[in-house]
Chains A and B, each alone.
Chain A
């Protein structure tokens, strides 16, 4: 017993022991810093790859007891299906006669008024650098009886479906469903919240205009008519997308603008309702290849050459299916554009998702969709308060499984911590230098000695600030009309950036003082620390973007190093230039998103990402 105590708490001064222990820990870490530096990103990447594993995550559940999903009888009947069919005929006639936006809106508004609702239309006009967008939205409000009308639920359908990212397929059946629902839901006095029916023109633009006008925060490039009819605070919204003739599954799209997600309880309720009604639910439009063995070649991404023992293993197949869902999620979230019209709602604290009727030859149609939507609205109607319970951080791996924040967040954080360790090591290394004592002069100790040297911090910070200012200038340039119209835009930017980088390297060669740490090492250290901070901070705002940053920045920022010959330096610099500006290939889409929807990925890439990579490039040039 005594011996044990002596090991844990040896005799002597307690403080001395503590300091000694701390020193031992620090030296153990700093001696293995290279290993840790290498290990952390590898661990992070392994964690990332492990995310689709069916062993991680858990089944979905309903957190908010008030929701009570699927506990009501639904009354949507074949008569209502017939009504929707009649609306559909009218809509098809409008489509075939090439009706204008106004004619369409007028028709919809008239139909809403025939049902006895307040309805109105709203014209909008977006002014963009490359294109202008006009349109006319239609909306109607069903005031709930007995309620003061301070809370509302939105049921919406965009005129254009989300298929091919809003590229032309019309969402006629979705619109007909909304009209049919309006006709049907009015018969009941049980609504505690106002129901707002919105049929927006276009794909994303119409809803953006409508929502901005509703919330009184109209962006500068948008001219929009004031809404004649208003209602209360919107808590939930349901967007219906039904482009095909019939559907086999209902798909759920949920990612919003700038990486926002709706409260998971809403989608969980939808899943519970659908499973009670026997309507299969999928994530996005991803059918599970395990349920369709005959369509495996089309649905499964596992390559043919894989050994069949592995390829047919149930866990591998689950992994493959989950991986496909996660990859789609990461893409939608990182792009900041969201995955559909529902994404626009999240910026106003409205929980929303899109119900996408997966086009198929059957077996479901208006009847199934109407019942599901009715029941979902009843569930949303039950809410006494906003959905909360911090159910906003999740990744859906399958329709009924999800990853909690604790399961996925560490992956990106580990990579960013690795980067931070690299930066801190570079910082220490640049401030200390190991001097070997002169062998000719016998001194008292022959051990090599650490001596301090000063670091050119101010100059480094100046360079970093300059790169970010260059980023701002580039942002202004790229969002100007001249850039989009001229053909020499990109070469011009490349030239400016190169001139800037070589200019910086030329300046530094003059200013380097004796006994001072090289500028490149300090710049590299600070660059890594800064990048790591950015990644860590982004993880909670937009996890997918943080993952993308971590994966794309970790290696390039770690291996940047100066060299002697000018040609070698230029050679090293060029991949960094490519990496920093490669995204400009998708510039048109990025700037469209920023201009019309306020997706901050474009300015973020200009002002944060591009300078970070450029700094690493400059490190190579110095």
Chain B
């Protein structure tokens, strides 16, 4: 029982310490909990560190000796070093597992929900090393930092889709230096505890106190959907680092009767101590429409949302909250007819053969009026498009006029992916089918991965809802949808022609025999001398 006075001492010291030694740094944390119509509960943890009055490094100074000291208290040092070394203006990294169901969950709090790893960064040119070299350094450094296979986001996966991934913050003006984007995604990357530990290390309070103490890997990685995100961007106030963790858990999974949840049931933890260095520490719970009871009493209720401030929590008691419904849960019968998003997308790869196929999209516009969406495919060269076979149909009639602004960067086999971007117009209350024929690549045998052969994961396509051209000033209020929100389709799995590597000896014996047979016959024919032989002689 000696630790308690010590702890109190530290707790007492911390606020003053934080305020005195880091006047340029500010740390805020927030947890948003929301129940969906299918009974699942989404928790979004956001940890924001702001380095005020700082700005990204000018890439031209990379040629000079870096003598600027990097003293941070709250801002993660490892990340700061990395950003300085490669002069990164803006950086977004997400590692997700699962499939985000826009139909029943609506848009996520943090937009990057593509399956697997996705990394994109905005960098300016002008450094002694090229953008691509710095991009390579960045992803290798991040791979080390996050224990993820980001090193595999190489030039075979790197594209520059600047239209679908505009900078979230501002790009500094360095005498007109051009900024460029580098984007790569790897759908088969899994996220697990080895990625969460380095994530927690970037937080000032680690997982010892504050909201981050709820991040219990046993529960996080059992959730239906979970993902971590790292976002670095520049605003006039300074450089902002935003770390977030999103998860969608299913309180109905064990019992199947009631959708009640509490911190204990969702995370198997409660908040014992507030993070002393956090300026704000809030929990926001979206309240349901039905009869419910919420404990403890929220500090404020604003437009259907209960707010809790953990900074006001008494230091002795742990904070746990509970939301209970008055009645048993019943699954909505018409889950598909009342979607939360203006349009839904289904993407499939058809064709059972190993050399050809067809990529098919089915887009459904739930709005009464036409909407425009931008459609981006960053396709590895494993799948190659035949653009002349694009076919767009609305309810069975061909409507090729619905596609516009096509831009296409050809893939280069064995080195570069294709980037296909276009704008699709979806007529009101309609189902648009889009098909394009594809050919599947034939790999060199060294390009086959050495592990189990389940096929190749193709990255998700990205859709962005654009401002409607027909109706000026149209904004959507439902579900907090903003124009410009990205929608990720699920990833795809493609089967390429693969030798049965599990039988290497048979394969070797067969091929060697064939080669030997052909060589032997031809060699024999070329070198043989034909003469008449008298048998009786």
A interface list, Cβ under 8 A from B:
13, 15-16, 19-20, 23, 66, 110, 113-116, 118, 120, 143, 145-151, 186-187, 189, 215-217, 226, 228, 230, 232-233, 347-349, 384-386, 388-390
Contact = CB atoms under 8 A, between A and B. Distances in A.
B254 A148 contact: no
Interface of B: 38-39, 97-99, 101, 103, 115-116, 187, 221-226, 250, 252-254, 256, 330-333, 335-336, 346, 348, 350-352, 358, 360, 362, 433, 452-455, 457, 490-493, 495, 500, 502-503, 506, 533, 535
A232 B455 CA distance: 12
A113 B495 contact: no
A16 B536 CA distance: 10
A502 to B, nearest CB: 45
A233 B256 CA distance: 29
A521 B183 CA distance: 72
Contact of A187 (B256, B336, B348): B256
Given A216-B348, A390-B500, 5 more contacts: A113-B331, A145-B98, A145-B250, A147-B97, A226-B433
A502 B169 CA distance: 88
Given A217-B350, A217-B352, A232-B493, A149 B533 contact: no
A230 B224 contact: no
A232 B503 CA distance: 27
Given A113-B331, A116-B39, A150-B457, A187 B493 contact: no
Given A113-B331, A145-B223, A384 B454 contact: yes
A219 to B, nearest CB: 14
A299 B388 CA distance: 62
A108 to B, nearest CB: 13
Contact of B352 (A228, A349, A390): A349
Nearest to B221: A146
Contact of A390 (B330, B492, B503): B503
Given A19-B533, A20-B535, A148-B490, A228 B336 contact: yes
A385 B452 CA distance: 6
Contact of B360 (A23, A143, A216, A390): A216
A390 B503 CA distance: 9
Contacts of A226: 362, 433
Nearest to B224: A145
B436 to A, nearest CB: 12
A316 B397 CA distance: 66
Which of A114, A189, A215, A389 has the largest count of B CB atoms less than 10 A from its CB?
A189
Nearest to B453: A385
Given A145-B224, A384-B454, A217 B351 contact: yes
8 contacts: A19-B533, A146-B224, A150-B455, A150-B490, A215-B352, A226-B362, A233-B493, A348-B352
Contacts of A149: 99, 490
A367 B503 CA distance: 40
Given A114-B331, A187-B256, A389 B502 contact: yes
A113 B331 CA distance: 7
Contacts of B352: 215, 217, 347-349
B521 to A, nearest CB: 17
B533 A148 contact: no
A384 B351 contact: no
B210 to A, nearest CB: 26
Given A19-B533, A120-B336, A216-B350, A143 B99 contact: yes
Nearest to B354: A349
A230 B364 CA distance: 14
Given A113-B333, A118-B335, A146 B225 contact: yes
B490 A233 contact: no
B60 to A, nearest CB: 41
Contacts of B256: 187
Contacts of A19: 533, 535
B491 A150 contact: yes
A474 to B, nearest CB: 30
Contacts of A145: 98, 222-225, 250
Nearest to B331: A116
Nearest to B344: A228
B336 A148 contact: no
Contact of A147 (B98, B103, B252, B332): B98
Which of A15, A145, A385 has the largest count of B CB atoms less than 10 A from its CB?
A145
Contacts of B495: 233, 349, 386
Shortest beta-carbon contacts, A-B, top 5:
A216-B350, A150-B493, A384-B452, A148-B115, A145-B224
B14 to A, nearest CB: 37
B454 A389 contact: no
A148 B455 contact: no
B362 A16 contact: no
A389 B187 CA distance: 27
A117 to B, nearest CB: 8
Contact of A113 (B224, B335, B491): B335
Which of A15, A186, A216, A217 has the largest count of B CB atoms less than 10 A from its CB?
A216
B253 A15 contact: no
A110 B335 CA distance: 11
B253 A187 contact: yes
A248 B470 CA distance: 68
A79 to B, nearest CB: 11
A390 B433 CA distance: 38
Nearest to B96: A148
A143 B248 CA distance: 13
A228 B337 CA distance: 11
Nearest to B348: A230
A118 B226 contact: no
Nearest to A194: B99
A388 B502 contact: yes
A404 B225 CA distance: 45
Nearest to A145: B224
Contacts of B535: 16, 19-20, 23
A20 B490 CA distance: 71
Contacts of A115: 331
A297 B453 CA distance: 50
Contacts of B491: 148, 150
A114 B335 CA distance: 11
B452 A118 contact: no
Contacts of A146: 97-98, 221, 223-226
Nearest to A187: B253
B384 to A, nearest CB: 19
Nearest to B435: A216
Contacts of B503: 389-390
B228 to A, nearest CB: 14
Contacts of B98: 145-148
Contacts of B500: 388-390
B492 A150 contact: yes
B351 A151 contact: no
A114 B333 CA distance: 7
A179 B225 CA distance: 25
Nearest to A388: B500
A42 to B, nearest CB: 31
Contacts of A15: 533
Contacts of A147: 97-99
B305 to A, nearest CB: 26
Contacts of A116: 38-39, 252, 331
Contacts of B362: 226
A16 B537 CA distance: 10
Contacts of A151: 454, 493
Given A19-B535, A20-B535, A233-B495, A148 B116 contact: yes
Contacts of A348: 352
B43 to A, nearest CB: 15
Which of B103, B348, B500 has the largest count of A CB atoms less than 10 A from its CB?
B348
Contacts of B101: 143
A437 to B, nearest CB: 21
Contacts of A388: 453, 500, 502
Which of A13, A148, A216 has the largest count of B CB atoms less than 10 A from its CB?
A148
Contacts of B223: 145-146
